[in-house]
Structure 1
Amino acid sequence: MTGSTGCSKQAADTKQKVEGLDKLGQIGVISREEGSGTRGTFAQLAGFVQENTDKDQTVKDAKIADDTASVLNMVGSDRSAIGYGSAGIMVSDSQVKVLSVGGVEPGKNNAGYPLSRSFYLVWSGKLNDVEDDFMRYIRGAGQEIVSQSYTAVGKQSSFLSLKPKGKITVTGSTSVGPLLECLAEEYMKLNPKAVITVKQTDSSDGIRQTMQGKCDLGMSSRDLKDNEKEILDYESIARDEIAVIVNKENPLEDISLEQLEKIYTGKIKEWQKLYD
């Protein structure tokens, strides 16, 4: 009798959690573009990357967003939508809310959150003086800036710039880009002889342009592939979580990796069938 009572209570709680989903209709799937490191990492962690390939199985009729800001706008304007993006940028507001995943909320230093990844800078060959000085800043004093919105990967320490003169071009991930812009701005205050330009495209483009010598540093929000590791040097500069968001009118508060996989591969197309 005790076990039966416990199961009944759990079923009642589950029903309460999803009350109102039937009013939302078909799920509006919002995905990042191909080449996005956030998309690649999300698909890998949620379990819908094809074996022996780099292809994810995102449903073909998903609406595509080129950056986190676009995801926020698209989900905020569609009560049936679901999307994902960098937790360091994406926050709940009047139009969207961030879901827990598997009962765990995204957040700095939250080791139990299942959608966690590293931010990387990549380069080819030996760093020149100004590049090396900038990297020293990021590893030390720059970690204070990292810790404001992300999880630091090193201890904050004092930094004395050698003030080398030069230009640095940085290209890649739109998730890493806002952090790099902040780091570059603060570094250039310490070294006025440096000029750093940050161009946001996507992770794969940043890695490709670095290999081709078209930029000095590449930004990636996904792990490097084996062939990329053979060509490039790389370093983690921060830890970030991928946040899952829905419209504020959606009653859902928590979602599982299995449910995300089914939504993003089209196995679940309607909100009311989420718990079938």
Structure 2
Amino acid sequence: MKKFISFALIAAMAVTTLVGCGNKGAKADGGSSDAAITVMSREDGSGTRGAFIELFGIEEEENGEKVDKTTDEASITNSTSVMMSSVANDANAIGYISLGSLNDTVKAVKIDGAEASVDNVKNGSYKVVRPFNIVLGKKTSDAANDFVNYIMSADGQKIIEDNGYIPVDEGASAYQASNAKGKVVVGGSSSVSPVMEKLVEAYSKANTNIQVDVQTTDSTTGVSSTVEGSYDIGMASRDLKDDETAQGVEGKTIAKDGIAVIVNNESSVDELSTDQVKSIFTGETTSWSDITK
């Protein structure tokens, strides 16, 4: 049975660490000896999970249907921040996050010999890459269109690059504000939301006539809420599915992002192959000794 880890639980774990008792990471073997691997995955509906299982072959086709083969022993986290905190607090853990969200609280392992970096995503040597999409409905307000124009402008694409993501239009023109006014609600992927918040911060200075609010949920909610009309613009860290576009929405890629496979900073593991990652997340490999020997 999958274990669900929420932000509240991570906060409790942090308190436990501060008082110096029960810290799982302090007692673990750091990815060595016979320590059991703690597999951390994202929740159903996460675009990062959807892209991850596809890129590593964890999603397999059975009877014409795609089936997620992530092990039932995986602990489920509901956001990028919770995933990072979970791995940082367990020396035997492995998980995955947006490359653009990577910081020094965890360690990204090389995949098939390639370091997880923006440069390696650009040159093609790091192949665990997915799109950051915004989701647009059949009718988009003038205010929402103005914000989209900002994202795709030279100004917006520079913010994307400055925050560790890969822009999709390096030849874009400078932003020119329209006469639109109003409020725009953007919601969806917790992987896209950090860079979206940076875009909103800069946009609020470039156009004071439009207010943009960002709501962080997940990619599937980003799509469905755009279909329903509660979001003016959705966020999805994966390609849209056929049954989603059939409902009248379309995806527009605003950036590309790598997916970093992460372990605890104490881990002795620095590199994994694609096959090893698949074996760990499907539950075939359960001990770090099977990786390090």
SS in 2 for 1:197: strand
Which residue of 36, 40, 55 corresponds with 1:26?
Answer: 36
Q: CA deviation at 1:21?
A: 4.7
Which residue of 86, 93, 113 corresponds with 1:74?
Answer: 86
Q: Which residue of 1 aligns with 2:289?
A: 272
Letter in 2 for 1:172: G
Number of positions where the alignment pairs a residue of Structure 1 with one of Structure 2: 256
Which residue of 210, 228, 234 corresponds with 1:218?
Answer: 234
Q: How far, CA to CA, are the matches of 1:247 and 1:24 in structure 2?
A: 16
Which residue of 146, 163, 167 corresponds with 1:152?
Answer: 167
Contact 1:24 1:79 in 2 (8 A): no
Q: CA deviation at 1:157?
A: 2.9
Q: CA deviation at 1:96?
A: 2.1
Question: Is 1:161 matched with 2:177?
Answer: yes
Which residue of 221, 233, 236 corresponds with 1:205?
Answer: 221
Q: CA deviation at 1:166?
A: 1.0
SS in 1 for 2:44: coil
Contact 2:51 2:130 in 1 (8 A): yes
Q: How far, CA to CA, are the matches of 1:97 and 1:42 in structure 2?
A: 17
Listed as ranges, the gaps of 5+ residues in structure 1 are 1-19
Moved more, 217-226 or 45-54: 45-54
Mapping for residues 236-251 of structure 1, pairs under 5 Å: 236-251=253-268
Once the two structures are superposed, residues 117-143 of structure 1 have per-residue CA deviations (whole angstroms, 9 ceiling, x without a partner) of 000001111322111111111111200
Q: How far, CA to CA, are the matches of 1:106 and 1:88 in structure 2?
A: 10
Q: How far, CA to CA, are the matches of 1:131 and 1:179 in structure 2?
A: 17
Moved more, 187-196 or 35-44: 187-196
Runs of 4+ in 1 over 3 A off after TM superposition: none
Q: Which has the larger radius of gyration?
A: 1
Taking only the aligned residue pairs, the percentage that are identical comes to: 39
Letter in 1 for 2:157: Q
Mapping for residues 83-102 of structure 1, pairs under 5 Å: 83-91=95-103, 93=104, 95-102=105-112
Once the two structures are superposed, residues 176-205 of structure 1 have per-residue CA deviations (whole angstroms, 9 ceiling, x without a partner) of 011111111211211111011110100001
Contact 2:181 2:210 in 1 (8 A): yes
SS in 2 for 1:88: helix
Letter in 1 for 2:112: G
Contact 2:111 2:272 in 1 (8 A): yes
Q: How far, CA to CA, are the matches of 1:154 and 1:192 in structure 2?
A: 25
Instruction: Note the aligned Cα RMSD (angstroms).
Output: 1.7
Moved more, 122-131 or 239-248: 122-131
Q: Which residue of 1 aligns with 2:7?
A: none
> Which TM-score applies when normalising by structure 2?
0.83
Q: CA deviation at 1:163?
A: 3.9
Letter in 1 for 2:258: E
Q: CA deviation at 1:213?
A: 1.4
Mapping for residues 24-173 of structure 1, pairs under 5 Å: 25-51=35-61, 52-91=64-103, 93=104, 95-108=105-118, 109-140=122-153, 141-148=155-162, 149-155=164-170, 156-173=172-189
Q: How far, CA to CA, are the matches of 2:87 and 2:272 in structure 1?
A: 16
Listed as ranges, the gaps of 5+ residues in structure 2 are 1-29
SS in 1 for 2:195: helix
Contact 2:32 2:292 in 1 (8 A): no
Letter in 2 for 1:151: I
